[in-house]
Amino acid sequence: MLTSSRIGRRLLLLPFVVLLAGACAGPDEALPADVRSLALGADDAAVLRLAETVLVGRCMRGAGFDYPLDPVELRQELAAPPHPAALDSAWPEDDEKRAAAAGPGAATESPPAPTRLGRYVEGLAPARREAFATALYGYPATGPWVEVTLPSGTVRQSRAGCRSEALRLLYDDLDAYVRARITKDNINPLVQARVTADPAFTAAQARWRTCMAKRHWAVADPAELTARVAEAGAALPPDQRAERSRTAAVASARCNRQAGLSATARRLTPAAQRRVRADLRVPLTDLSRREQAALPYARRLLAGEDS
pLDDT tens for the chain, residues 1 to 307: 333 333 233 333 323 333 333 334 444 566 777 777 777 778 888 889 889 999 999 999 999 999 988 777 777 777 766 665 667 778 888 888 888 887 665 544 566 677 888 899 999 999 999 999 999 999 877 878 898 888 778 888 899 999 999 999 999 999 999 999 998 988 998 999 999 999 999 999 999 999 999 999 999 999 899 898 888 888 888 888 888 889 999 999 999 999 999 999 999 999 999 999 999 999 999 999 999 999 999 999 988 877 5
**Structural domain includes residue 77:** no
H or E stretch at 94: none
The pLDDT, as a whole number, for residue 30 is 67
Tell me, what amino acid is at 186?
N
In a domain, 231, yes or no: yes
For residue 113, the one-letter residue type is: A
Whole-prediction pTM = 0.72
Within-domain flag for 186: no
- Contact between 91 and 265 under an 8 Å Cβ cutoff? The reply is yes
For the chain, the domain total comes to 1
Please give the residue range of the domain that contains residue 250.
193-272
From CA 71, how far away is CA 96, in angstroms rounded? 40
DSSP type of residue 158: E
Q: Flag whether 257 is in a domain.
A: yes
| Closest listed residue to residue 74, CA positions, set 28, 27, 120, 34 | 34
Task: Please provide the DSSP assignment of 108-156 as one string.
Answer: -SPPPPPPHHHHHHHTS-HHHHHHHHHHHH--TTTS-EEEEEETTEEEE
Residue 104 burial (CB count, 10 A): 24
Q: CA end-to-end span of the chain, whole Å?
A: 27
Q: Is residue 199 part of a domain?
A: yes
Question: Could you give the CA distance from residue 127 to residue 184 in angstroms, rounded to a whole number?
Answer: 35
Judge whether 302 and 31 are in contact, CB under 8 Å. Answer: yes
Between CA 293 and CA 172 the distance in angstroms is: 10
- CA–CA separation, 275 and 269 (whole Å): 10
* pLDDT of amino acid 8: 33
Q: Could you tell me if residue 99 is inside a domain? A: no
* Model pLDDT, residue 257: 94
Q: Cβ of 198: how many Cβ atoms within 10 Å?
A: 16
**224 within some domain:** yes
Asked if residue 228 belongs to a domain, the reply is yes
- Residue 162: CB atoms within 10 Å: 29
Coil, helix or strand for 5? coil
Closest-CA residue to 47 (of 295, 303, 305, 293): 295
